[in-house]
Amino acid sequence: MPVGMFPDLNDLEMDMQYFVDMRPSYYCFSNKTKEMTTTEIMALFAPKM
């Protein structure tokens, strides 16, 4: 989603990174965040049996 769609981002805080196992090695943020791999995300949204 383009950030420009949100008119008020003053209190926005990035605290999670998704698909971290697929990002390039040079790609990183200076702040510490929770990180989720593809496997973790798929398990989170998989149908519950």
Nearest to 36 by CA among 13, 17, 49: 17
| pLDDT recorded at residue 31 | 84
Q: Which two tokens stand for residue 25?
A: 């090695």
| pLDDT recorded at residue 35 | 94
DSSP 47: P
| pLDDT recorded at residue 46 | 93
Mean pLDDT in residue range 37-46: 95
- Of 29 and 34, which is predicted with more confidence? 34
| pLDDT recorded at residue 11 | 84
For 1-32, write each residue's pLDDT tens digit: 787 888 888 888 889 999 999 999 888 888 89
